[in-house]
Amino acid sequence: MSRRFAAVDVIRTKRDGGALSGEQIDWVVAAYTRGEVAEEQMSALAMAILLRGMDRAEVSRWTRAMIESGSRLDFSSLPRPAVDKHSTGGVGDKVTLPLAPLVAACGAAVPQLSGRGLGHTGGTLDKMEAIAGWRASLELAEVDAQLRDVGAVVCAATADLAPADRKLYALRDVTGTVESVPLIASSIMSKKIAEGTRALVLDVKVGSGAFMKDPALARELATTMVALGTDAGVETRALLTDMSTPLGRTAGNALEVRESVEVLAGGGPADLVELTVVLAREMLDAVGLDAVDPADALRDGRAMDVWRRMVAAQGGDPDAPLPVARHTHEVRAEADGVLTGLDALAVGVAAWRLGAGRARREEAVQAGAGVELHAVRGERVRAGQPLLTLHTDTPERFGWALEALAGGVVVAGPTTGRPAAAPALVLERITA
């Protein structure tokens, strides 16, 4: 029988800068999940962790305790190696959609258990649900069968996967303790490790449109998550990638699906194609399939074939027309010059306000809402040229979205503004 502790003693230990023992961590996570530790007590402990931090052993043990609060998946019996990808979220980040079928087309199994959007970053499930008939909720037997038959699945996580994290995440959201790197890392990695894949590639976004805006904090988060995966026996590596400007040319749901299909068809924006291929190479290398070039699978149509089968396997119609918003509004350049500013956060908030995102988890989203970009940062533009198109079913939202864009879209005069090279997408690679 595991030892029982007093919650106040655990709180005091961390409050005073001490390291929690493995037994203390196991007990407090399990007891909180069962409802034996009060919300206000876990709030106090979370704040102590935010202020005092955790060492590697503590974070690893905390993550393991959250994993053990629920069930674990096991994909070791699949005929192909299983590998997963996780992004910390950004504006226009639709990479999962082309990436999962691309990696599957190259010989790996990709169980992509995803979530819905909240705030200015879009959710993968919201995007996929823009496809007629597609369903997010699958039984584990369906996931296994689809991985064997198709090689890729994008679906909602099961309710019993790290339930301690789901409860603690909701508490952190309302107690000002979201920003703790140990708690962020353990939240992400408890679910990813519990998914049971052999390898994991992390895409940690950095910049105005990312959760982590400070490169040093993003690097700390990435390093911590790589260590957690390594400690759990999962081959884990991370890329720090730029999110100062939106990824691709769209931010929304159906808009991003359309752009993802363009990538699978061999086209699409250069930055989106580049990041998709870079992440695919990392995933394939992590499971020993580095001899396969994913760029070939985009060119010859194999990735598109897997996409169509993946969508159809979950009830979707890959040939159905995607939803289109009933109203649009163009934002045009007021003068000749260079587009020197295209802020990711401004575009993300505008898309959210147009109906592409939600402020509360129970809210619905508009499938056709979002922002379409007609120029990229560093590009020369002419007076009257469309820079953005706003899409929504509720035109009264246009003014609210335009407020979000104020100051985020900057055209400098032809004498002061100079075309700039696109920022590097991959800023750093972090491995164990």
Q: Which pLDDT score is estimated for 159?
A: 81
Instruction: Please tell me the pTM assigned to this model.
Output: 0.94
Measured distance CA(115)–CA(194) in Å, rounded: 15
Measured distance CA(145)–CA(213) in Å, rounded: 40
Residues of the chain under the 70 pLDDT cut: 1-2, 118-119, 415-422
Chain-centroid distance of CA 275 in Å reads 14
What's the Rg (C-alpha) of the chain?
Answer: 22
**Domain annotation for the chain: domains and CATH numbers:** 7-53 (1.20.970.10), 83-320 (3.40.1030.10), 327-412 (3.90.1170.30)
Q: Which residue has the tokens 């979530």?
A: 115
Burial label for 79, CB within 10 Å (0-12, 13-18, 19+), is exposed
Strands 327-332 and 386-392: antiparallel
Distances in whole angstroms, Cα of residue 56 to Cα of each of 11, 22, 53, 94: 19, 12, 10, 32
Contact 298, 264 (CB under 8 A): yes
**According to DSSP H, which parts of 240-369 are helical?**
254-264, 270-286, 294-299, 302-313, 344-351
Strands 152-156 and 110-114: parallel
CB under 8 Å to 41, separation ≥6 — which residues?
Answer: 7, 8, 11
> Among positive and negative, which fits the CA dihedral 81, 82, 86, 92?
positive
* 11-48: burial string, b at 16+ Cβ within 10 Å, e else: bebbbeeeebbeebbbbbbbbbbeeebeeebbbbbbbb
Q: Which pLDDT score is estimated for 423?
A: 74
Contact 425, 241 (CB under 8 A): yes
CB under 8 Å to 288, separation ≥6 — which residues?
Answer: 81
CB under 8 Å to 76, separation ≥6 — which residues?
Answer: 82, 196, 198
Q: Mind telling me the catalytic residues?
A: 86, 165, 172, 187, 191
Strands 250-252 and 380-381: unpaired
Q: Which pLDDT score is estimated for 45?
A: 97
Measured distance CA(271)–CA(145) in Å, rounded: 33
Smallest Cα–Cα separation from 388: which of 376, 374, 398, 404? 374
Residue 149 CB coordination number (10 Å): 11
Measured distance CA(32)–CA(346) in Å, rounded: 38
Measured distance CA(419)–CA(340) in Å, rounded: 8
Contact 82, 109 (CB under 8 A): yes
Measured distance CA(251)–CA(241) in Å, rounded: 17
